[in-house]
C-alpha cells in the first residue's frame, strides 16, 4: 500500500516492484488483481495522470508520451486517450513554445543560423514532437522551415 500512496502505478509497474521485493509471481498477481478489482489500481487513471505530467512538466511531445506509457505496460487503447488528455491540458504548440524559450534563453528564433535551427528541430523531435508540429511551429515563429 505504501507504493500506491506515493503515486499512481500501472499494473505492470506495480507487479515488477513487488517482484523486486522478493514477492512470488503468484502473490504479486493476486495483489495486483485485488487492487485492480477494488479500483485502487487503474491503468486508465494512471495513463491520464502520467500523460498530463509528462506533457505539462517534462514538456514531452505526443510520441514520447505514448512510448513512455507503453513501456509501463499501458494498453494501446488507453494510450490515445491519455495523450488526448495531455493535449487538452497543454497543447503541443504551447509545449514547443516553452521548450524553445528554455533552449534559446534570451535569443529569438529568427536570430538562429540554419544549422542552429536544424539542431533545435532535432531536439524537438527527440522530445517526441512530430515533424508536422515542428514545421508548423517554425512557420508560426517566423523561422526556417525545410520540406
Cα separation, 33 vs 25, in Å, equals 12
Question: Is the C-alpha dihedral spanning 98, 49, 74, 19 positive or negative?
Answer: positive
Tell me whether residue 89 is exposed, middle or buried, using C-beta atoms within 10 angstroms of its C-beta: 0 to 12, 13 to 18, 19 or more.
middle
64 with 98, same domain?
no
What pLDDT is stored for residue 86 in this prediction? Answer: 92
146 lies in a domain?
A: no
Could you tell me the pLDDT band of residue 78, with boundaries at 50, 70 and 90? very high
pLDDT in tens, 3-40: 554 567 788 878 888 888 888 899 888 887 887 788 77
68 with 118, same domain?
no
Whether pLDDT at 43 is above 90 = no
**pTM of the predicted structure, to 2 decimals:** 0.80
Could you tell me the pLDDT band of residue 147, with boundaries at 50, 70 and 90? very low
98 with 70, same domain?
no
Alpha helices in 21-147 (DSSP H): 25-37, 43-56, 62-71, 76-89, 92-104, 114-126, 131-141
What pLDDT is stored for residue 146 in this prediction? Answer: 53
For 43, the domain range is 2-89
Cα separation, 41 vs 124, in Å, equals 33
User: Domain tally for the chain?
Assistant: 2
28 with 50, same domain?
yes
pLDDT in tens, 108-142: 888 888 899 999 999 999 999 999 999 999 988 87
Amino acid at each position: 500500500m505504501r507504493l500506491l500512496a506515493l503515486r499512481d502505478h500501472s499494473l505492470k509497474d506495480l507487479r515488477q516492484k513487488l517482484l523486486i521485493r522478493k514477492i512470488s509471481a503468484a502473490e504479486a498477481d493476486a495483489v495486483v488483481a485485488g487492487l485492480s478489482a477494488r479500483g485502487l489500481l487503474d491503468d486508465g487513471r494512471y495513463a491520464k495522470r502520467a500523460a498530463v505530467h509528462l506533457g505539462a512538466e517534462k514538456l514531452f511531445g505526443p510520441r514520447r508520451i505514448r512510448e513512455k506509457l507503453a513501456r509501463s505496460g499501458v494498453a494501446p487503447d488507453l494510450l490515445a486517450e491519455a495523450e488526448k488528455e495531455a493535449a487538452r491540458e497543454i497543447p503541443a504548440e504551447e509545449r514547443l513554445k516553452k521548450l524553445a524559450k528554455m533552449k534559446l534563453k534570451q535569443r529569438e528564433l529568427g536570430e538562429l543560423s540554419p544549422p542552429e535551427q536544424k539542431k533545435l528541430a532535432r531536439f524537438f523531435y527527440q522530445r517526441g514532437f512530430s515533424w508536422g508540429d515542428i514545421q508548423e511551429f517554425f512557420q508560426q515563429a517566423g523561422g526556417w522551415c525545410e520540406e
